[in-house]
A and B are shown apart, each in its own frame.
Chain A
Amino acid sequence: MSCAYEEDLTAYVDGELPPPHRARVEAHLGTCADCQQTERLLRVTVARMAELPAFTPSPSSRREVLARLDALPPTWRERLASLLRPGVLVPSLGVAAAAVLAVLVVGRGGGETAALDEWDPGALEVATNLELVEDYEVLGLDSSDDLEVVENLHELGMP
Chain B
Amino acid sequence: MDLDPDTQAMLKVAAGDKQAFAWLFDRHHASVARFAFRFVGDPARAEELTQDIFVKLYRHAGTYKPTAKFKTFLFRVATNHCLNEMRRGEYRVARLATEAPEADDAGGVEMPGPEGDRPDQALSGRELEAAVGVALGDLSERERAAFTMCRFEGMAYRDIAEALEASEAAVKSLIHRATLAVARRLEALQAGTVPARSRA
Contacts and interface: CB of A to CB of B under 8 A. Distances in A.
B34 A64 contact: no
Contact of B47 (A58, A68, A81): A58
A145 interface: no
B186 A45 contact: yes
A57 B47 contact: yes
B47 A65 contact: no
Given A41-B183, A81-B16, A49 B132 contact: yes
Contacts, number: 102
Nearest to B183: A45
A48 B16 contact: no
Contacts of A11: 157, 172, 175-176
Interface in B34-86: 34, 37-38, 43, 46-47, 50-51, 54-55, 58-59, 62
A114 interface: no
B15 interface: yes
B156 A64 contact: no
B150 interface: yes
Contacts of A10: 172, 175-176, 179-180
Interface in B1-34: 15-16, 18, 21-22, 25-26, 29-30, 33-34
A52 B129 contact: yes
B55 A68 contact: yes
Interface residues of A, number: 36
Interface string A14-51: 10100000000000000000000010011011111101
A57 B33 contact: yes
A78 B132 CA distance: 45
Nearest 8 Cβ contacts at the A-B interface: A57-B33, A45-B183, A10-B176, A55-B37, A44-B120, A49-B151, A10-B179, A41-B183
23 contacts: A7-B172, A10-B180, A16-B156, A38-B180, A41-B183, A42-B179, A44-B120, A48-B186, A49-B151, A51-B128, A52-B125, A56-B33, A57-B33, A57-B47, A61-B47, A62-B25, A65-B29, A66-B22, A69-B55, A69-B58, A72-B55, A77-B15, A78-B16
Interface of A: 7-11, 14, 16, 38, 41-42, 44-49, 51-58, 61-62, 64-66, 68-69, 72, 75, 77-78, 81
